[in-house]
Amino acid sequence: MSVKPRKRRQWPLLAGACILAAGVVIFIGDSPFGTLTSSKKEVPDIVVATPVPTPTPRVALEFRMLDLDRGWVKYADGMAHTSDGGAHWQEVTSTEALPTDGGTATNGLEAITKLLSLESGTGSTAAGASGASVASGAAATTSSGSPSVDIVTLNGTMFDVKQSQFVTPKIGWALLPSTTNSKSPLVLTVDGGQSWIDGMTEDAKAIIQGVKAHLTQLQAESLLYKDEAGAKAVLGASWKLIPDQASPGDIVLVRHKEPGSIAWQGKTYTLQPYEAGYFTYLPIPMSVKAGTYPIGDQTLTIKAKKFETQYLKVTEQMESMKQDTARINADQKKIDLARSKSEPSFLFSGPFVKPVEGILTTPYGYTRYVNGKYDSAHMALDLAAKEGTPIKATNDGVVALAELLYLTGNSIYIDHGMGLFSQYAHLSELRVKPGDRVKQGDIIGLVGTTGFSTGPHLHFTFWAHNIQANPDLFFNTTPFQWVK
């Protein structure tokens, strides 16, 4: 009997059993082929959020700015300090020393107060004082002269002020009652309390930097004057004539707080910036009549002055030298060109010195007759000395001309800035060249008798904007010290 048909009937049953077993294995996730996806969904763990405690606001007790950069804030639980006007703050460690007042340093409160008082022309400006005022809104002025506020508006919201301090009339800081009122420990104003800033902005930083630069200029300029009274008289005035009285042949230094120009005797003189002011020399020609003249909001008084007369006798050959107008005019063009360019700054800081210790043979301003005929007004000093005597630069400057000229012989012109030149003539030897920078007392040449000269001497004078100025005004002093 054959069994093949029976086996064919068993194969479907066997296959079905296998499929059933596989399904069971898959369902229970116990497959021999590895872990398969279970039909049972995993339930994620439940995370419970822990509330973050709100930090307790720090209690600020007081603050102090030591200048326009440095300051500190004292809290109940510590201190913080700044070195950039409040843009950034750092905690003070227990071993770290607090910054101290700069005192008389340029950027210290004491120095700032002094400089501001000089500029205002008052006895005192109480920069750095702290407190609260009785007025609200913009800064008011306390009895000490210091601005102060009791309310500030920040981002449209008004806040009471716990403490305020102004370092200048425009720049100040304020401490609000709570540290939650602002992001920065202090709020800042750079417009006298009209508006307030939480921290620091680029515009505010630029304003503070400008004020610092101005204070540095005030400090440098104040040292140019003879004393504090002289500095206050000049820095505290809108216009200042130094001096306010002069005579023909003299020179006046003019200072103004703003740029501008002065019309004087048919010419216009531009005020040049220097340190904290704007300056120009005002030469007083011999033709100016005695009287009073308005300059800005000041009055210049010109007093009459009588000059002596001098009579010289020279050889016919020397007298004929002045007839060669072609050579004289050619030299004058060189001189005019050299004196046409002057550095727009005062090149000196110390006093002017006499270039040679010689015998004064012709004072400044003498009316000179040569061989009985009127020649000119002698707008220089003639100092007789042995030939070869060293000649010193009267002050710091730049050599504008050093050349052999027809009438004045070996000649030197030194630019001292702002249109002021010193002239040295009849030298036997030149020891400088154009472009050389010289210091007060440097040897620039030797006494001689070249050109139109009757003997060894130095012809010396000053020129201000191409007009002669009396050298006697300069010796052992500077124009800044002519304040009376």
**Residue-wise pLDDT tens digits, 3-60:** 444 544 555 555 555 555 555 444 445 444 444 444 445 555 666 666 666 667 778 8
pLDDT tens for 398-413 read 999 999 999 999 999 9
Give the pLDDT confidence score for residue 115 in this predicted structure. 93
pLDDT of the residue at 24? 45
Q: What's at 416, amino acid-wise? A: H
Give the chain's domains with CATH numbers: 60-218 (no CATH), 234-302 (no CATH), 309-478 (2.70.70.10)
Using an 8 Å Cβ cutoff, are 450 and 412 in contact? no
Half-sphere exposure of 192 (CA within 13 A, CB side): 7
pLDDT digits (tens, 9 = 90+) for 309-323: 766 676 766 666 667
| pLDDT cut 90: percent of the chain above it | 65
**Looking at residue 107, what is its pLDDT?**
65
pLDDT over threshold 60, residue 82: yes
Give residue for tokens 């913009």. Answer: 138
More reliable by pLDDT, 219 or 136: 219
Q: Three-class SS of residue 109?
A: helix
- Write the CB contacts of 420 (distance below 8 Å, at least 6 apart in sequence): 281, 342, 462, 463, 464, 469
pLDDT, averaged across the chain: 85
Average pLDDT over every residue of 446-475? 95
Collapsing DSSP to helix, strand or coil, 330 comes out as helix
Question: What is the pLDDT at residue 9?
Answer: 52
Q: Are 154 and 196 in contact (CB under 8 A)?
A: yes
Tens digit of pLDDT for each residue in 382-395?
Answer: 999 999 999 999 99
Express each pLDDT in 280-317 by its tens digit.
Answer: 999 999 999 999 999 999 999 999 998 877 666 767 66
* Percentages (nearest 5) of helix, strand, coil residues in the chain: 20, 30, 50
Percent of the chain with pLDDT over 70: 76
Structure tokens at 292: 């009073």
Cα–Cα distance, 74 to 59 (Å, whole number): 9
Query: Once rounded to an integer, what is the mean pLDDT over residues 231-237?
Result: 96
Assign 181 a pLDDT band (cuts: 50, 70, 90): confident
Q: Give the C-alpha separation, 75 to 58, whole Å.
A: 7
Residue 473 confidence (pLDDT): 97
Average pLDDT over every residue of 114-136: 63
Q: Work out the number of other CB atoms within 10 angstroms of the CB of residue 160.
A: 14
Predicted confidence (pLDDT) at residue 459 exceeds the cutoff of 90: yes
**Beta strands, E only, 155-276:** 157-160, 163-166, 172-175, 187-189, 197-198, 239-242, 245-246, 251-256, 261-264, 267-270, 272-274
Residue 127 pLDDT exceeds 70: no
Mean pLDDT over 363-375 rounds to 73
pLDDT value for 186? 94
What residues have CB less than 8 Å from 400, skipping those under 6 apart? 338, 339, 341, 413, 414, 415, 421, 434
Between strands 157-160 and 151-154, the pairing is antiparallel
Segment 324-331 mean pLDDT:
90
Q: Return the pLDDT at 121.
A: 82
Give the Cα separation of 54 and 40 in Å (integer). Answer: 43
